């Protein structure tokens, strides 16, 4: 049996332009592709194989609608968009991975993927959220507390698609969110969300048990802390190569005490992020063996005959754009970052067919990137030929669309991995760059 690491098994690819078409196609052996930030790693590692990939990114399921009763977030809204449009979820969304993953990954995809360390579950559990799902048979609502069954398994049926997430509005809510992550764009080791409404509290822990927990009760001052910790200690805590169970528990307890005391004092955790739009439109394409893909790269029209499983990274490199590097090949290092229609995205976690018809820029195609390059040179932040390309690309996007040279926001955004040096000079270079929004 032949096996090529990093390249998915062959599949049929269909980009749909209506939800009905997607629902019609959803059957055994097929899967929907949203941001691809969890599905593509699984397909590349061949942990999962599909017959048909139904790309739903062109559907009109983006954005946020709000009235006096609730906030409705459409399922294809990206993490960066959620962070900038839904204040309550700003910290949960903006602490996911890094700027590039947040430009493509979606809230619906994250809930459907159901990772035990997903950033959204603890927040949405304490906020009494529910999801709307649709199938050919009709629409139904599922409480987030009934959605996650076990790691990577949800109560969504195979013929259903999440269309939106609904958060009821509460009058006097103190909501805090704490997360502990290792370096780079790693998943959290522990998460805690606390919601206090009047004398009622809800606390949820993520990343430390196989299923995000939810504890609730009446606030009895600081003795509630003791009570919640006692309940937490009865749970089976995850132990893995990143942290054994006692370390995880200690981290979670520390996060919880901070989060709970802040919520008691009436402080709410919110990040102030300017409006980030991530509109996504690409050419309608479908095919099985090979397909013709056209895109504009650094102002040149590039056309190539590729298999649907061809990564954008390979499409670019085989057409001569060797400045785009293959590093980790699993979405972590950022060496392969390019700008797609104005957004930094990892080309090792993007199929060429997904972005047919788009405008792609590599570091050689950005006429206005000079102030960043100059600042990197002046601050000794230029590093090797692998990581530098990615660092420049994500910095360019971050400065253009967020602009704030704020330590906390930069910490959650510039997370490309360089194993040789630190981030000190890179952050200094970003802060002193004259490029702004």
**Which of ligand FES, ligand FAD, none has residue 106 at its interface (CB below 5 to 8 Å by kind)?**
ligand FAD
Write phi, then psi, for 382 (nearest 5 degrees).
Answer: -70, 125
Q: Which of 135, 159, 187, 261 binds ligand FAD (CB under 6 A)?
A: 187
**Which of ligand FES, ligand FAD, none has residue 126 at its interface (CB below 5 to 8 Å by kind)?**
none
**Which of ligand FAD, ligand FES, none has residue 324 at its interface (CB below 5 to 8 Å by kind)?**
none
Q: Is 331 a binder of ligand FAD (CB under 6 A)?
A: yes
Q: Is 328 a binder of ligand FES (CB under 6 A)?
A: yes
Q: Is 38 a binder of ligand FAD (CB under 6 A)?
A: yes
Q: Is 317 a binder of ligand FES (CB under 6 A)?
A: no
Q: Which is nearer to ligand FES, 193 or 394 (CB)?
A: 394
**Which of ligand FES, ligand FAD, none has residue 356 at its interface (CB below 5 to 8 Å by kind)?**
none
**Which of ligand FES, ligand FAD, none has residue 358 at its interface (CB below 5 to 8 Å by kind)?**
none
Euclidean distance between CA atoms 390 and 333, whole angstroms: 8
The span from the first CA to the last CA of the chain, in angstroms, equals: 51
Q: Is 413 a binder of ligand FAD (CB under 6 A)?
A: no
Write phi, then psi, for 34 (nearest 5 degrees).
Answer: -100, -105
Using DSSP, state whether 66 is helix, strand or coil.
strand
Count the Cβ atoms, other than its own, within 10 Å of residue 184.
Answer: 16
Q: Is 243 a binder of ligand FAD (CB under 6 A)?
A: no
104-123: which residues touch ligand FAD (CB under 6 A)?
105-106, 108-110, 112-113, 118-119
Choices 86-94, 203-211, 325-333, 422-430; region in contact with ligand FES by CB under 6 A:
325-333
**Which of ligand FAD, ligand FES, none has residue 188 at its interface (CB below 5 to 8 Å by kind)?**
ligand FAD
Q: Which of 112, 418, 426, 429 binds ligand FES (CB under 6 A)?
A: 418
**Which of ligand FAD, ligand FES, none has residue 122 at its interface (CB below 5 to 8 Å by kind)?**
none
Q: Which of 150, 290, 421, 434 binds ligand FES (CB under 6 A)?
A: 421
261-290: which residues touch ligand FAD (CB under 6 A)?
none
| Interface with ligand FES (CB under 6 A) | 326-329, 331-336, 346, 348, 383-384, 386-387, 418-421
| Interface with ligand FAD (CB under 6 A) | 31-39, 41, 75, 96-97, 101, 105-106, 108-110, 112-113, 118-119, 156, 161-162, 185, 187-188, 331-332, 349
């Amino acid at each position: 049996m032949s096996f090529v690491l990093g390249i998915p098994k062959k599949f049929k690819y269909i980009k749909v332009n209506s939800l009905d078409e997607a629902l019609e196609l959803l059957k055994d052996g097929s899967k929907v592709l949203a941001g691809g930030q969890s599905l593509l790693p699984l397909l590349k590692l061949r942990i999962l194989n599909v017959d048909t990939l139904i790309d739903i990114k062109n559907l009109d399921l983006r954005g946020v609608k709000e009235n006096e009763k609730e906030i409705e977030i459409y399922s294809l809204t990206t993490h960066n968009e959620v962070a900038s449009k839904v204040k309550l979820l700003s910290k949960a969304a903006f602490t996911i991975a890094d700027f590039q993953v947040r430009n493509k990954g979606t809230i619906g995809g994250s809930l459907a993927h159901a990772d035990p360390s997903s950033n959204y579950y603890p927040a949405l559990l304490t906020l009494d959220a529910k999801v709307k799902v649709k199938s050919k048979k009709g629409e139904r609502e599922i409480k987030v507390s009934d959605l996650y069954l076990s790691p990577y398994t949800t109560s969504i049926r195979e013929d259903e698609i999440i269309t939106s997430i609904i958060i009821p509005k509460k009058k006097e809510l103190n909501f805090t969110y704490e997360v502990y992550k290792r370096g780079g764009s790693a998943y959290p080791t522990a998460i805690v969300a606390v919601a206090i409404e009047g004398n009622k509290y809800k606390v949820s822990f993520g990343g430390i048990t196989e299923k995000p927990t939810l504890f609730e009760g009446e606030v009895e001052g600081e003795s509630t802390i003791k009570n919640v910790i006692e309940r937490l200690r009865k749970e089976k805590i995850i132990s893995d190569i990143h942290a054994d169970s006692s370390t995880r528990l200690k981290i979670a307890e520390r996060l919880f005490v901070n989060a709970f005391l802040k919520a008691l004092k009436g402080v709410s955790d919110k990040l102030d992020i300017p409006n980030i739009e991530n509109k996504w439109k690409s050419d309608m394409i479908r095919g099985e063996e090979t397909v013709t893909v056209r895109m504009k790269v650094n102002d040149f029209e590039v056309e190539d005959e590729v298999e649907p499983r061809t990564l954008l990274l390979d499409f670019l490199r085989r057409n001569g754009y060797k400045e785009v590097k293959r590093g980790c090949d699993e979405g972590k290092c950022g060496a392969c970052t390019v700008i797609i229609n104005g957004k930094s995205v990892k080309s090792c976690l993007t199929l060429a067919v997904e972005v047919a018809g788009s405008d792609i820029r590599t570091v050689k195609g950005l006429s206005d990137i000079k102030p960043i390059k100059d600042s990197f040179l002046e601050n000794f932040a230029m590093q090797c030929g692998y990581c530098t390309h990615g660092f420049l690309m994500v910095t360019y996007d971050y400065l253009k669309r967020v602009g704030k040279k704020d330590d906390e926001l930069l910490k959650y955004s510039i997370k490309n991995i360089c194993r040789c040096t630190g981030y000190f000079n890179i952050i200094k270079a970003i802060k002193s760059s004259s490029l702004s929004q």
